[in-house]
Structure 1
Amino acid sequence: MSAESAGGGIVSSSGAILGDDGLRRPPWASIDPMLRDYYDREWGMPVRDEQGMFERISLEAFQSGLSWATILRKREAFRVAFDGFEPDLVARYTDRDVARLMADAGIVRNRAKITAAITNARATIDLRAHGGLVDFVWSFQPEDTPYPRCVDEIPTRSPESEALARALRRAGFAFVGPTTMYALMEATGIVDTHLVDSHRRGTSGVWPD
């Protein structure tokens, strides 16, 4: 049985919403055009470059306690403010840069999160001597991925995200809790938590649909 959502789409028994384009998406990606485009084009696709992974870790940390829509709307401002999330540049930031960032209304002005991004840039550089950030994060890919048949079955953390969080903290990273790291794993294709009836299920090429 299906029902009509508040946004006008048809909700399937899984909780996915059938859009006017005939494609099913989870509720968070079904109404806001920006989130819908992000879901269709980017979320869940593999990230295998250092700069891209550092950006994702940074943005996931800034998202903590906020909505992802808030971060996504500010993403370009974040990229400008943080020199494109180039770790070598961010690692050299000083107190003057922290003050600059705290005065930038285009980003989330949270001192702890700003300093964490700088700390994490330096930790990213240190990891190059041990295989690099990308291989480090991907080494926590589980043997299997969830197959959520409904929204309630989508996990928010896992033993692997807990282990990744612990390992990153040991490597000098900050703001990398297990829930935040699970969100990172979802966003970068390390796990596939698309609903089984979503049109994006299996599109990462990492997991079979």
Structure 2
Amino acid sequence: MKHRCEWCGTDPLYEKYHDLEWGVPVYDDQILFEFLILEGAQAGLSWLTILKKRENYRKALDGFDCKKIAQYGDPDRKRLLADAGIVRNRLKIDATIRNAQGTLAIQKEFGSLSQFLWSYVDGTPIQNHWKDISEVPVSTPISDQMSKDLKKREFNFVGSTICYAFMQAVGMVNDHTVDCFRHAEVKSRI
């Protein structure tokens, strides 16, 4: 039996996410944008709740196409607020649209969202060696700076804790505990 990070429990969806995605470096702008939006949607909720709604988000948000989302107007806001398949929170929906607009501005200025975000770790994932889940931080000076920079660009739902969870999800940091079978696997992908 494989030993996993404690946080993923035994839910099959959570285990699949842990085993295949969490901590694997992502450089694709559309996937990075998806994770940024989903991490923001998770604020105040469990990640498992968001994972269960992930496919609904993909349908509701045009596959996380930030060019399309940046153009959303009132009819789209109303449609999203009525969609029981996603988190129907007006502030989070407005943030999704604003963050799509911000992403387009970042792409124009830096060439890609990936280039901008990965610059916080100099393009190389940070390899942590936590023995216990209690050692894993909820934020770091890097996530603090990322949060400040995104907020300056008028992004919302990008606090330092959300940014750190994002960094973990997209492999900017390897926060699998050392006893987890994925720690070495993720590290070897660098």
Superposition TM-score, scaled by structure 1 size = 0.85
How many percent of aligned residue pairs carry the same amino acid? Answer: 42
Gap change, CA 1:79 and 1:163, over 3 Å in 2: same
Report the alpha carbon displacement of residue 28 of structure 1 after superposing the two structures with TM. 2.3
Gaps of 5+ in 1: 1-21
Contact 1:192 1:207 in 2 (8 A): no
Could you tell me which residue of structure 2 aligns to residue 157 of structure 1?
139
Confirm whether residue 117 of structure 1 aligns to residue 96 of structure 2.
yes
Contact 1:44 1:187 in 2 (8 A): yes
Alpha-carbon deviations, 1:64-100, whole Å to 9, x = none? 0000010000000000000000000000100110000
Report the alpha carbon displacement of residue 130 of structure 1 after superposing the two structures with TM. 1.8
Q: Given residue 178 of structure 2, which amino acid in structure 1 is its aligned partner?
A: V
Report the alpha carbon displacement of residue 194 of structure 1 after superposing the two structures with TM. 0.4
SS at 2:95's partner residue? helix
Runs of 4+ in 1 over 6 A off after TM superposition: none
Gaps of 5+ in 2: none
The equivalences for 1:42-121 within 5 A come to: 42-121=21-100
Alignment length (residue pairs): 187
Could you tell me which residue of structure 1 aligns to residue 119 of structure 2?
139
Q: Given residue 201 of structure 1, which amino acid in structure 2 is its aligned partner?
A: H
Contact 1:146 1:192 in 2 (8 A): yes
The structure with the largest helix share of the pair is 2
The equivalences for 1:157-176 within 5 A come to: 157-176=139-158
SS at 1:24's partner residue? coil
Inter-partner Cα distance in structure 2 for 1:98 and 1:125: 19
Q: Which has the higher contact order (CA 8 A, sep 6+)?
A: 2
Inter-partner Cα distance in structure 1 for 2:139 and 2:70: 29
